[in-house]
């Protein structure tokens, strides 16, 4: 029996999606193990690591050993931690004593907003400018866009952030200088605009370059020449080229998303935004191990999920592309997560 949906053989598609979800589960499981092991990889007694910056009295150490079941075998501790993680229970923050989930939640919301807004900006600007540059290859507009993209990819985000802060917030007074405002959605968006643009600056430029070269590759393809030879409208030709270029663009957007979480630490600190990056940095400083583990796991799950979704989308657009590029790309993606 052959079932078809769009251009995809359903058995093939269902099989691929199942395989990709299984890979997601395996990746997350492996990463969770590495993340949990952080406590033991750090030099010294785990109990002392969990003491954080408090004074390590014997009573406190004994209480921590009991609280975290440190006397149990390693794997059973991992099991307990993982079980807790499934219920979003990561224990208590060493620094504040509050629940880790409650500590992270507001920060996570801010960072996810920031990352998604800047992904939207960089994808919109990067893809559109990339197509415009490729279509006008060799013309002045291509030159201008290409140079701008070069500046974007070479300028570090904290430097760009400081320039934006100085020009748009300090000199022109168009945007607030720090924080996330009074809590209303509009005010928060206004506060996040400049950081999001800063974050989008570099990755947008990267997406632009990838889009430009992907579309250029399609523009020199035989099918493009054959479409032009049949006087098919330029709009249709561009649409076909975009569809063929989209797996490369989508895949790099997935990579960019992972990169965004890395850059967010710097941008959050430049703009004093209470996001995950700031929380992660200060938690590392305070040896707040449960919070660090929870954030690391959250990011790992999110990045793996994004990469899974991207791969499935790419497969649905063009299964042949996945067959050609799949294995190599997957390896690259996972390396980035560890980095």
Q: Which residues bind another protein (CB under 8 A)?
A: 7, 137-138, 220-223, 225-232, 234, 236, 240, 243-244, 317-318, 320
List beta partners, residue 99.
92
* H helix or E strand, kind and range, residue 277: helix 276-285
CB-based contacts of 4, cutoff 8 Å, min separation 6? 10
Q: How far is the CB of 248 from another protein (least distance, A)?
A: 13
Q: How far is the CB of 210 from another protein (least distance, A)?
A: 19
| For another protein, the closer CB: 80 or 217 | 217
Q: How far is the CB of 4 from another protein (least distance, A)?
A: 9
Q: How far is the CB of 234 from another protein (least distance, A)?
A: 7
| For another protein, the closer CB: 46 or 319 | 319
Q: How far is the CB of 131 from another protein (least distance, A)?
A: 17
Q: How far is the CB of 2 from another protein (least distance, A)?
A: 11
| For another protein, the closer CB: 15 or 79 | 15
Cα–Cα distance between 123 and 115 in angstroms, integer?
Answer: 12
Q: How far is the CB of 252 from another protein (least distance, A)?
A: 19
Cα–Cα distance between 261 and 268 in angstroms, integer?
Answer: 11
- Which 3 state secondary structure label does DSSP give 67? helix
Q: Phi/psi zone of residue 57: left (φ > 0), alpha (ψ -120 to 50 degrees), beta?
A: beta
| For another protein, the closer CB: 219 or 281 | 219
Torsion of CA 51, 53, 55, 61, to 10 degrees: 0
| For another protein, the closer CB: 41 or 231 | 231
| For another protein, the closer CB: 146 or 221 | 221
Cα–Cα distance between 110 and 275 in angstroms, integer?
Answer: 5
- Inter-residue contact 107 to 275 (CB < 8 Å): yes
Cα–Cα distance between 210 and 215 in angstroms, integer?
Answer: 9
Cα–Cα distance between 62 and 56 in angstroms, integer?
Answer: 10
| For another protein, the closer CB: 134 or 256 | 134
């Amino acid at each position: 029996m052959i079932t078809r949906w769009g251009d995809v053989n359903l058995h093939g598609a269902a099989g691929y999606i199942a395989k990709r979800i299984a890979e997601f589960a395996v990746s997350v499981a492996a990463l969770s193990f590495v993340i949990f092991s952080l406590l033991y990889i750090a030099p010294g007694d785990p109990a002392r690591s969990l003491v954080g910056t408090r004074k390590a009295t014997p009573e406190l150490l004994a209480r921590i050993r009991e609280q975290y079941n440190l006397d149990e075998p390693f794997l059973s501790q991992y099991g307990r931690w993982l079980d807790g993680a499934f219920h979003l229970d990561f224990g208590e923050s060493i620094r504040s004593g509050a629940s880790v989930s409650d500590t992270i939640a507001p920060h996570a919301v801010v960072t996810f907003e920031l990352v998604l807004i800047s992904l939207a900006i960089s994808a919109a600007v990067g893809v559109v400018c990339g197509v415009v540059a490729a279509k006008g290859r060799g013309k002045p507009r291509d030159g201008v866009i290409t140079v701008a993209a070069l500046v974007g990819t070479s300028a570090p985000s904290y430097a760009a952030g400081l320039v934006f802060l100085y020009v748009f917030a300090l000199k022109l007074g168009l945007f607030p200088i720090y924080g996330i405002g009074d809590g209303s959605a509009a005010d928060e968006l206004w506060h996040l605009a400049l950081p999001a643009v800063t974050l989008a600056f570099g990755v947008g430029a990267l997406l632009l370059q990838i889009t430009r070269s992907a579309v250029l590759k399609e523009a020199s393809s035989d099918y493009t020449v054959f479409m032009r030879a049949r006087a098919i409208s330029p709009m249709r030709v561009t649409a076909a080229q975009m569809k063929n270029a989209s797996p490369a663009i989508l895949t790099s957007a997935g990579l960019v998303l992972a990169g965004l979480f890395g850059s967010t630490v710097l941008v959050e600190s430049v703009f004093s935004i209470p996001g995950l990056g700031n929380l992660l940095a200060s938690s590392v400083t305070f040896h707040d191990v449960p919070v660090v583990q929870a954030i690391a796991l959250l990011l790992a799950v999110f990045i793996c999920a994004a990469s899974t979704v991207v791969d499935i989308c790419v497969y649905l657009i063009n299964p042949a592309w996945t067959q050609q590029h799949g294995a190599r790309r997957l390896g690259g993606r996972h390396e980035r997560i560890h980095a």
